[in-house]
Structure 1
Amino acid sequence: MSKDLLKEMQAHREELTAIRHDIHKHPETAFEENRTADIVAARLTEWGIPIHRGLGKTGVVGTLKGKRPNTSNMGQRAIALRADMDALNLQEKNSFAHKSVHDGKMHACGHDGHTTMLLGAAKHLAQNPDFAGTLHFIFQPAEEGEAGARVMIEDGLFEKFPCDAVYGMHNMPGLPTGHFAIRPGPMMAASDTWTVTFRGTGGHGAMPQMGTDPTQPAANFITATQGIIGRNVSPQNAAVISVGHIAAGAYGSPNVIPSEVLIRGTARSYTPADRDLLERRLAEVAQGIAQAHGCSAEYHYLRRYPPLVNASEQTALALKAAALTVGEAKTDGDVEKLTGAEDFAFMLEQKPGAYILIGNGGSIEDGSCHYVHTPHYDFNDQILVTGAAYWVNLVNVELGDAA
């Protein structure tokens, strides 16, 4: 069945490639995806799929009813498939014809491909609604750092479009082209941001004894953060603390000890207990070191994206759909956890579901591909049909013959 489906859907390859290139050429960042949303809405409407616009400002949801009668005792099921639409604030350095026409904006994470794959599935399923129940196509804005999934939920996504399960997919450079990878349980990390400001009196660089120097606790704190990982987090778990920003003093005054030093960073974890631990220990370490140096520390911890946790049942169904699409030899049901974050995690907090990776090809090690969030990245058009076929097979697994 899967081979026939892939062959059948090859007829859409040129159309899907053209859509993807058009979206890539005109990238739009968080909550500004108006042109992209117009493309999505126009295509879904053309294919006879009723749409709703405005959730999360620019979100689009299409709803398709299957033509089959329900044959189970559980009532009609509904599932949702989600794709993200937004681009990044990044200057593209590619030279191909579909490169970005907007300076400082680029589809550097493949959301142009994610949107296109779900559109390809929507077209096929609209023409072949051979399933029982209801299917929601969620086209989400603002995944990149602005939590568009959370905003759509707050706007009533699952009240307006009830579903029993929700599924997502992301491309993965370095994973062989068209392969699939997933794992049950925690798969991606929570992403949190912390800020510590060390304050002292500052003073003359030639007479440090006349004041208190916040650069000393700041330097010690940066080193001490890694002790939290090495001595407080269980060796059985994984967590990351990284410093990403330091600001202090004036470049033109190297002989002046600054009165404050600001440090910002990220914390990544997979469990609620470790997330709590990182938040608490960063504060304790900052305040303890500051006190030891006669300074003060102001601390803020912002919980941004929760860990992405796949439900066991839906993970098994996603893996089954992937195997139907490309064969078991090209699927991995125990992929390593990723320390990156994904706002689809907010949807998985509300509904059981699963998030799968599709291989974008190449190798990071030998330079034969570029990773996401880099200026030379591009989505691999070869997997557009494969990804669309996976979505169709997933619907068949959940609501159709393969259920």
Structure 2
Amino acid sequence: MTISKALLDEAQNWRQAFHARPELGYSEHETSRRVAELLESFGIEVHQGLGGTGVVGTLRNGNGPTIGIRADMDALPIHELGEPHHKSQHPGCMHACGHDGHTAILLATAKHLSSTRSFSGTVHFVFQPAEEGLAGAKRMIEDGLFKLFPMDAIYGLHNWPGSPLGRVVINAGPMMASLDTFEIKLKGKGCHAAMPDRGADPILAAAELILGLQSIVSRRLSPLDSAVVSVTQIQAGEAINVIPEFAVLKGTVRCLQSQVRDKVERLIGDFVEQLPTAFGVKGELVYNVGYPVTENNVDAAMQIRRAAVSALGEENVQWGCSPSMASEDFSFMLNACPGAYVWLGVDGDEPSAALHNPYYDFNDRVIEPGVRVWTHLVEQSLPSA
């Protein structure tokens, strides 16, 4: 299979244009319009507005199964410090996670398949808004993604610094962790800082609670279970000589198994209810259930593995890896439809900057292997008669 150099050059230009004009979640208006415009120019049926700024392109070619391929479009609220010629023109906003590259790869795949049509069935190209913490995938589903566009399977990829350029990494199970957040309000009794015995110190209770929460992973879970509990914010007090009435803790929980996730939520509740009382302080917990575990369907994972091997060679496919404790809202789609999610390595001669780093820039050399994998996946999942 040959991917034309002209198409790859086009895709690189699209990618760099998206990079120069990044947009945050649910504000991808220009990006969405451009994606729709390009899909229509390829002769692909376009549906706009799903999930706010989402776009779905549909390519039908005879009878057969239906699959979806998803790319995310949103950027991050980070000021770009690198100096590529396509540097962000929007201060305080940049494509620091490579969603510009994901979008360009899927657009190039759509254009290639619309011209070759070496498959029998239907492909839905899903361009999703608001992956970065705003659950755009969930909103697309709520707006009827899988009802309006029924699919037998859906697939997604993410570029992955730390893996060699063009290497596909995949598990037949969890790829990324769930993400939940919590807020703990501690109510004590304010008093003069010189007379702590006349009050009930919520800051002291907060300090002990932070240490106690860390014992959940180290002492209340099996060493074989995977979880991270992180307190990331502490808010308390206004005056240096006053023990405050309230303290607030905020943080995140990440797990790789649903049953572990449920247990951690329950244990945090136990700690918040019981530990502060030893200091005369009352604790209240608000626990926000967020992104599920990103867990691949075994059959779908094997399907994309076969496609990646045929596209890139056995040596460029890693079957089995340590999942990431970061999170991904493609998990909502995998909960609603069988599918699989893979990582695509981007490290060339020099290691890539990390994701969410102000110096990150997508490696355009990975566009071609990305298009090859998606094309082989479509042609093998929807074989011609």
Tell me the TM-score normalised to structure 2 length: 0.98
Pairing partner for 1:259 from 225, 239, 245: 245
Q: How many percent of aligned residue pairs carry the same amino acid?
A: 44
Matched, 1:55 2:68: no
Instruction: Tell me the secondary structure at the aligned position of residue 320 of structure 2.
Output: coil
Aligned residue in 2 for 1:383 = 366
Q: 1:285 to 1:362 in 2, by over 3 A?
A: farther
Equivalent residue pairs, number: 385
1:383 corresponds to which letter in structure 2? V
- CA deviation vs aligned residue, 1:154-202 (integer Å, no higher than 9, x gap): 0001110001000000000111011110101111110000111111012
Q: Distance in 2 between matches of 1:242 and 1:397?
A: 43
Instruction: Name the Cα RMSD after superposition.
Output: 1.3
Aligned residue in 2 for 1:224 = 212
Pairing partner for 1:38 from 33, 37, 48: 33
Instruction: Decide whether the 8 Å contact of 2:184 with 2:250 is kept in 1.
Output: yes
Aligned residue in 2 for 1:201 = 189
Unaligned segments of structure 1, at least 5 residues: 71-75
Q: Distance in 1 between matches of 2:279 and 2:302?
A: 54
Pairing partner for 2:274 from 277, 288, 305: 288
Pairing partner for 2:22 from 24, 27, 51: 27
Pairing partner for 2:88 from 84, 89, 100: 100
Matched, 1:77 2:72: no
Instruction: Tell me the secondary structure at the aligned position of residue 175 of structure 1.
Output: strand
1:259 corresponds to which letter in structure 2? E
- CA deviation vs aligned residue, 1:219-264 (integer Å, no higher than 9, x gap): 00111111100122221111000111111112xx211111111110
Unaligned segments of structure 2, at least 5 residues: none
Aligned residue in 1 for 2:259 = 273
Instruction: Decide whether the 8 Å contact of 2:161 with 2:351 is kept in 1.
Output: no
Pairing partner for 1:18 from 13, 17, 42: 13
Instruction: Tell me the secondary structure at the aligned position of residue 57 of structure 2.
Output: strand
Instruction: Decide whether the 8 Å contact of 2:226 with 2:257 is kept in 1.
Output: no
Aligned residue in 2 for 1:395 = 378
Aligned residue in 2 for 1:9 = 4
Q: Distance in 2 between matches of 1:373 and 1:356?
A: 19
2:52 corresponds to which letter in structure 1? K
Aligned residue in 2 for 1:73 = none
Q: Distance in 1 between matches of 2:304 and 2:367?
A: 17
TM-aligned CA deviation for residue 362 of structure 1: 5.1
Instruction: Tell me the secondary structure at the aligned position of residue 83 of structure 2.
Output: coil
Q: Distance in 1 between matches of 2:322 and 2:383?
A: 31
Aligned residue in 1 for 2:175 = 187
Q: Distance in 2 between matches of 1:369 and 1:45?
A: 34
Structure 1 segments of 4+ aligned residues over 6 angstroms from their partners: none
Q: Distance in 1 between matches of 2:106 and 2:113?
A: 10
Matched, 1:339 2:325: yes
Matched, 1:311 2:297: yes
Aligned residue in 1 for 2:347 = 361
Instruction: Tell me the secondary structure at the aligned position of residue 144 of structure 1.
Output: coil
Aligned residue in 2 for 1:153 = 141
Q: Distance in 2 between matches of 1:9 and 1:247?
A: 56
Instruction: Tell me the secondary structure at the aligned position of residue 193 of structure 1.
Output: strand
Greater displacement, 209-218 / 9-18: 9-18
Q: Distance in 2 between matches of 1:96 and 1:48?
A: 33
